[in-house]
Structure 1
Amino acid sequence: MEELGATCPEQISEIGVSEPFPLFTDEAVEIMRAEILRKEVFDSSGRISHNSTTGKDCTLRGYAKTMAPFSYAAWTHPDTIAAVSAMAGVELVPIMDYEIGHVNIAMKSEDAAANELVSSKRRSSMTKKNDDVPAVVNWHNDSYPVKLLFCKEEF
Structure 2
Amino acid sequence: MLIGVNYSELLPMVVQTNEGHQLLENPFGLSIRGKHNSISNSDNTDNNITVRTHKVSTAMNLDEIKIEPVDKLKNELDKFFALEESGVHCDPRCIKCLCKGCPVSDSVNIKEERELELIEEGLAYDEDGKCWIARYPWIKDPRYLKNNVKVAVARLKTT
TM-score of the superposed pair, with normalisation by structure 1? 0.23
More strand by share: 2
- Greater C-alpha radius of gyration: 2
TM-score of the superposed pair, with normalisation by structure 2? 0.22
Kindly indicate whether structure 1 or structure 2 has the higher relative contact order, using CA contacts under 8 Å at least 6 residues apart: 1
